[in-house]
A and B are shown apart, each in its own frame.
Chain A
Amino acid sequence: MLDEKALEFRAANPNFETLTTREKALTLNTWLRTNNLTGLRDQKDYRNLRNCLIGQALRHEDHDSIPIISSAIYCCIARRISVEAHPCLFPGQVHTLVVSPRGQKLDGGQISDLAADYERMWIDTFGDEAEVRLEHLREVLARLGWDVSHQNAFEPASPNAMVERIEANMRESIRFAGTLDREGHTRALQLLHSRGMPITDLCEYTRAWTAVFTAAPTRPVWLEMATGLIDITTKRMPEDGWIIEKFLRPRYDAATDLQRAYEHYVRVIIQPAWSLFDDLKTSDVWTGARLRRPKSAAFKIGQVVRHRRRGNIGLIWSWSTTFTANNATPSVEDERISRGGASTEANGDAVRMYYTYL
């Protein structure tokens, strides 16, 4: 998608190579803004979760995004047209830094100054401004009460810092959605292909991952975050267990001194997790229970049904020939019974269902 946009930009600006670096940077910014690829249509929608996700921003017809994502889009396309650009985590609104090629000035010509062999400029890739002067950014920092020598606000952001800030925005979006009425809540958490609780669960999962990235591995808090992530993965996302097993487990096992302080976690969460992942390594050779359906069974897995009394719609997810309580997991006895013969007593044939309310 980004490649396509870069090509579109080049096609729309055939004289691009003749421009100075400054002109290139500003032309790109204007083009992105005119084509609605950066920024936000309606400021009231700032906290929509969609605006925090670059995939959604690029695919959705409105291309709404918050400043950090707008900056990322700008930088990705800039890289494809040989302009060096980086997001800067300026408080309140992320800006974009553009750097001239080595030895050249932003407005063309060679740099003769021996002190630095590049020049820098800052752009507002989200709002209505174009180039923003460093002095102005410093003034804003001073008004916010920040120390003006705080260099990080003007420097290229590290990937870890970017991840942390995006995750903070996602968390704030979810918290904000919780304060809205039902319709507002649904709209605030609506992505292109999904909405509702699965999204908030996935965001919690994302938060568990970012917490591990952003904590320093030598500190106790890292172990806490890693334990939290391993816990969520084993309970809800076992299919991602291989990532934990491959990248996190060696580090976790090596942090023996930290583990001593968290002996309880290690016993209750980590040891079962490592056993699970060890089992999963050999799981390809397992065969399934292979339950054969009784001939008289009325429904098959995948069919949509309605409960006659309750009236709600459900999706058949599994069946068994013994009745099990709601929310129970299947037991091994089911397998024995179904292998023992097709038992088809009148109310012996129960169907377990996967339900959701309308």
Chain B
Amino acid sequence: MANARVFRQANDTQVYSASEDSLELVTDIAELAGVEFYDAGRYFRRFDPETCCYVSNQLEDYPED
């Protein structure tokens, strides 16, 4: 059903690659309203609203992040 397809995109689980120049930082939490990151809990411990940043749980592999 067409409707069902729309839902799936709303929770897209695809991983994308991009180079730095294509990206800009988001620091305003308001822009995250309604956005959900599928499986964020696997790689991040919690969200820090002050820095608008997720605290990494991958310190073994990425110790400086």
Contact = CB atoms under 8 A, between A and B. Distances in A.
Contacts of B22: 307-309
Given A350-B19, A353-B16, A306 B24 contact: yes
Contacts, number: 159
Interface residues of A, number: 52
Contact of A350 (B17, B25, B60): B17
Interface string A281-320: 0000001111111000111111111111100011101110
A56 B11 CA distance: 22
Contacts of A304: 25-26, 31-32, 52-54
Of listed A290, A301, A309, A314, residue having the most chain B CB within 10 A: A301
**Looking at chain B's contact residues, is the secondary structure mostly helix, strand, loop, or mixed?**
mixed
A14 interface: no
A288 to B, nearest CB: 3
Nearest to B4: A178
A351 B18 contact: yes
Interface in B22-47: 22-26, 31-32, 34-40, 43-44
Contacts of A297: 20
A324 interface: yes
A142 to B, nearest CB: 40
Nearest to B28: A304
B29 to A, nearest CB: 9
A325 interface: yes
B62 A313 contact: no
Nearest to B29: A304
Nearest to B17: A352
B14 A347 contact: no
B34 A317 contact: no
A290 B3 contact: no
Contact of A307 (B23, B54, B55): B23
A20 B12 CA distance: 57
**Looking at chain A's contact residues, is the secondary structure mostly helix, strand, loop, or mixed?**
loop
A357 interface: yes
Nearest to A358: B35
Contacts of A303: 25-26, 52-54
Interface in A69-102: none
A292 to B, nearest CB: 6
B45 to A, nearest CB: 9
Contacts of B55: 302
A303 B20 CA distance: 13
B50 interface: no
A352 B23 CA distance: 11
A302 B56 contact: yes
A354 B15 contact: yes
Given A315-B54, A357-B9, A328 B17 contact: yes
A332 B32 CA distance: 33
Contacts of B23: 298-299, 305-308, 314, 351, 353
A108 interface: no
Contacts of A291: 61-62
A318 B58 CA distance: 9
Interface of A: 178, 181-182, 185-186, 195-198, 287-293, 297-309, 313-315, 317-319, 323-328, 347, 349-358
Given A314-B16, A351-B18, 20 more contacts: A185-B3, A185-B7, A186-B7, A196-B10, A293-B62, A298-B20, A301-B56, A301-B62, A304-B31, A305-B24, A306-B26, A308-B21, A308-B23, A314-B23, A315-B40, A326-B15, A354-B37, A355-B15, A357-B9, A358-B34
30 contacts: A178-B1, A178-B4, A195-B36, A196-B7, A196-B11, A196-B38, A197-B8, A197-B13, A293-B62, A299-B25, A300-B56, A303-B26, A304-B31, A304-B53, A304-B54, A305-B26, A306-B24, A306-B26, A306-B31, A307-B18, A307-B22, A313-B32, A318-B61, A328-B17, A347-B21, A349-B20, A355-B14, A355-B15, A356-B12, A356-B38
